[in-house]
Amino acid sequence: MLLSFDFPYYGFPIRNITIASGGFLYTGDYVHSWLASTQYIAPLMANFDTALSDKSFVKYSDDGQSFTVVWENVFLQDRPNNGSFTFSVMLNKSGDIVFAYKKIPIDIQQIIDNPSTKHPVKIGLSDAYIIDKTIIRTKQKTIYEYHRVNFGQSEVRNGTIITLTALPTCFSFNDCRSCIMHIGADFKCLWCPTINRCSTGTDRKRQDWVQKGCDKTVITDETQCPAIGQKGNNFGEPIEVTMRILDIHNVTTDYRKLSSHPATTITQVLPESSRNISTERTIEKINSVTKVHAYHSEPHHISSNSNLLVSVLILIVICFICIAWIIYAYRNPHTKSGQLLIRYRPNKWSWRRGEARYTAATIHM
């Protein structure tokens, strides 16, 4: 689904949203078989099946300022007798996210505790960055989850509304000084003069940050900032965002911890409802990065540079063989190669001008 506006998700503007019947939105660029693992916005991720009832719908609306998706009268695939669920999510242009729950027939914990439930059950957000690697002609894509927000399932009942207010992120600062000061942002921002970007070092553009050597050239002191407009501090310079889509096949799972990088902080507000008391809390920052999946493309997908090099080498070998054969045939006219060269020598390739040309059929006529 293409949004009519840029939605700032963890500070990065996105427009492509995948709506899943399982009660969540996928915000990643690469569609794969593990959409529910990371990069999601989930008002209620569960094993819903809209085919169980003619009254089940997934509706969406985009008015240019907000994007709303409603899961209406949807049933759990493995427990349809529990009743229908109706809930929604709204993405505001400002970056705020609202979860609203109209009909929740059972406690969410009962879905999780069900032994037959194989589909993940989640309420919250997740984001990750992707690292591309090529190992022995095999392209590998690894997704690292760097931040996740989970809500307690017991807090969700009929009439509950969860509002997530977007706070300033490093990506919103466009020059070195404002980046280092990061006023309003509750984490440490770093300025990379190579790509003119403000970041914590751990976000969706992590690979670009590492490839451009930002870990070595990063500026952490405002006194080191170049003047605005000079190289390394081009105020308002547009940032190039590239997207590549590759086929994905095999999946592996692993976990590891990287050096501590503060992630985006999101404030959760639970407005007062018929059964809930208003609460406000700040989700703790996650200082670890989880390696979620590795995707491997087929081995025959070789880079264009390798293809060009192989083609040139093959052409050189063919030319060398042809030259060697001509030299051999020229020096050995009694051989079959020599006779073939004599028969098809260059002066036999074309007719001289003005010379009559006859075929055997013409002579007999």
Tens digits of residue pLDDT in 152-172: 776 789 999 999 999 888 888
- 242 domain-assigned: no
State the pLDDT at residue 305.
58
Task: Tell me, yes or no, whether 180 lies in a domain.
Answer: yes
The pLDDT of residue 325: 85
Same domain, 19 and 92: yes
Q: Is residue 29 part of a domain?
A: yes
* pLDDT score recorded for residue 272: 35
In a domain, 120, yes or no: yes
174 and 62 in one domain? Answer: no
Statement to judge: residues 11 and 151 lie in one domain: yes
- Res 347: pLDDT: 65
Which pTM does this prediction carry? 0.64
- Choose one of 197, 224, 251: the last residue of a domain: 224
Region at 314 (left for phi over 0; alpha for psi -120 to 50; beta for the rest): alpha
CA distance 101 to 95: 20
Q: Which of 149, 172, 130 is nearest to 45 (CA)?
A: 149
Look up the domain containing 158 and give its range.
2-164
Total length of the chain: 365
Q: Identify the segments of the chain with pLDDT beneath 50.
A: 236-288, 290, 292-303, 351-365
pLDDT confidence of residue 87:
96
Write the DSSP symbol of residue 219: B
- Residue 91 in any domain: the answer is yes
Q: Domain for residue 287, yes or no? A: no
